[in-house]
Chain A
Amino acid sequence: MTTPAETLLIVEDEAQIRKFVRISLEAQGYQVLEARLGEEGLATCLASPPHLVILDLGLPDLDGMDFIRRLRAWSTLPILVLSVRASETEKIQALDAGANDYVTKPFGIGELMARIRVLLRKEERRATPSAQFSFPGLRVDLARREVEVDGAPVSLSRKEFALLSLLVASQGQVLTHERILREVWGAGHQEDTHYLRVLVGNLRQKLGDDPMRPRFILTVQGVGYRLAV
Chain B
Amino acid sequence: MTPQAAIALKPMTLPSALPSGRHPLRLLVPYLFALVVVAITVASAFLLPWLFPHASRSLLFLTGVLVVAARSSLGPSLLASFLSFLAFNFFFTEPVHTFKVADDGDVTTLAFFLLVSAISGNLASRMRQEMAERRASLERISQLYAFSRRLASAAGADEVLDALTDQLARLPGAPPGAIRIFLTATSEGPPGGSPPRETRRRGDDLALAPAEIQAAWERHGPEPVQRGPWLFLPLATDRGALGLVALADIQDPEQRESARSLCYQAAVALDRTRLVTDLAGARLAAETEQLRAALLSSVSHDLRTPLAAIIGSATSLLEYGAAFSPEDRRDLLTTVANEAQHLDRHIQNLLDMTRLGQGTLQLKRDWVDLRDLIAGALARLKEVLAGLEVEVRISPEVPLLWVHGTLIEQALVNLLDNAAKFSPAGGRIAIQAERDGQEVVIDLHDQGPGIPKEERERIFDMFYSVSRGDRANRTGSGLGLAICRGMIAAHGGQIQALPGEAGWGTRMRLRLPLVNAEITPQPEGTP
Please tell me if the beta carbons of A198 and B527 are within 8 angstroms of each other in the complex: no
Using known A-B contacts A88-B364, A194-B520, determine if residue A221 contacts B409 with beta carbons closer than 8 Å: yes
CB of B375 within 8 A of chain A? Answer: yes
B303 to chain A, nearest CB (A): 15
Please report the C-alpha to C-alpha distance between residue A202 and residue B520 in the assembled complex, in whole angstroms.
15
Pairwise interchain contact A219-B406, C-beta atoms closer than 8 A: no
Looking at the assembled complex, report how far the CB atom of B195 sits from the nearest CB atom of chain A, in whole angstroms. Answer: 44
A199 to B523 Cα, complex, angstroms: 8
Q: Given the known inter-chain contacts A108-B337, A194-B367, please indicate yes or no for A221 contacting B527, CB distance below 8 A.
A: no
CB-based contact A159/B371 at 8 Å: no
Closest-by-CB residue of A relative to B526 is: A159
B378 at interface (Cβ–Cβ under 8 A)? yes
In the assembled complex, which residues on chain A have CB atoms less than 8 Å from the CB atom of B368?
197, 221
Is A161 on the interface with B (CB-CB < 8 A)? Answer: no
Total interface residues on B, CB under 8 Å, equals 30
Interface flags, A98-111, vs B, CB<8A=1, else 0: 00000000101000
A-chain residues with CB within 8 Å of residue B348 when the two chains form the complex: 85-86
* Contact indicator B375/A197 (Cβ below 8 Å): no
- Residue B364 contacts which of A157, A185, A222 (CB distance < 8 angstroms)? A222
Q: Is the CB of B369 within 8 A of A201?
A: yes
Do the beta carbons of A219 and B372 come within 8 Å of each other? yes
Q: Which of B375, B400, B525 has the most CB of A within 10 A?
A: B525
Cβ of B155 under 8 Å from chain A: no
- Interchain CB contact under 8 A, B371 and A198: no
Give Cα A86 to B410, complex, Å. 10
Within 8 Å of chain B (Cβ to Cβ): is A144? no
In the complex, the answer to whether B406 meets A88 with C-beta atoms within 8 Å is: yes
Give the contact-size bracket for chain A.
20 to 34
A187 proximal to B (CB < 8 A): no
Residues on the A chain within 8 Å of B131, using CB:
none
* B39–chain A nearest beta-carbon distance, Å: 78
A75 at the interface (CB under 8 A from B): no
In this assembly, does B392 line the interface, its C-beta being within 8 Å of a C-beta of chain A? yes
B381-394 CB mask vs A (1 if < 8 Å, else 0) is 00000000000100
Q: Is A126 an interface residue (CB 8 A)?
A: no
Q: A221 touching B521 by the CB < 8 A rule?
A: no
B: residues with CB less than 8 A from A are 337, 340, 344, 348, 351, 364, 366-369, 371-376, 378, 392, 400, 405-406, 409, 520-527
A213-B375, A219-B376 are known; give 18 further A-B pairs, CB within 8 A: A86-B351, A106-B340, A177-B366, A197-B367, A197-B368, A197-B525, A198-B400, A198-B522, A198-B523, A198-B525, A199-B525, A200-B369, A201-B369, A211-B375, A212-B371, A212-B378, A212-B392, A222-B364
Of the A-B pairs whose beta carbons lie under 8 Å apart in the complex, a sample of 25, sorted by A's number, is: A85-B348, A88-B364, A89-B364, A106-B340, A106-B344, A159-B525, A193-B366, A193-B367, A194-B367, A195-B525, A195-B526, A196-B367, A198-B522, A198-B524, A200-B369, A201-B369, A202-B525, A211-B371, A212-B374, A212-B375, A212-B378, A212-B392, A214-B375, A219-B369, A222-B406
6 nearest A-B pairs in the assembled complex, by CB-CB distance? A198-B525, A194-B367, A211-B371, A219-B372, A199-B525, A194-B521
